[in-house]
Amino acid sequence: MEPEKMEPSGHMTNNMEDVIWLGKQMERMRDGSQLAEDMRFPDPIEFDAADNDNDEKYNYKKKN
């Protein structure tokens, strides 16, 4: 007999066990001030200057 196959649901997880595991990971995540205390900094990709360029966002939305 073949093991039961799970079809993708379009969600981040397909079962409650994974939801609980991801929730615990998120609880342990540190914010910017907590990282600064350890002389660390947040992921620089999240704070890329190009991502925060409002003029570029406005022009992109206007074209589309």
In Å, how far are 23, 45, 50 from 56, measured between CA atoms?
34, 17, 8
**Class of residue 35 by CB neighbours under 10 A (exposed 0-12, middle 13-18, buried 19+):** middle
Residue 18, pLDDT above cutoff 70: yes
Residue-wise pLDDT for 25-34, tens only, equals 988 888 888 8
Residue 64, pLDDT above cutoff 50: no
Return the higher-pLDDT residue of 61 and 26: 26
Q: Which two tokens stand for residue 45?
A: 């990709």
- CA–CA dist 15, 19 (Å, integer): 7
* pTM, rounded to two decimals: 0.41
Residue-wise pLDDT for 45-60, tens only, equals 655 555 555 555 555 5
pLDDT given for residue 8 in this prediction:
64
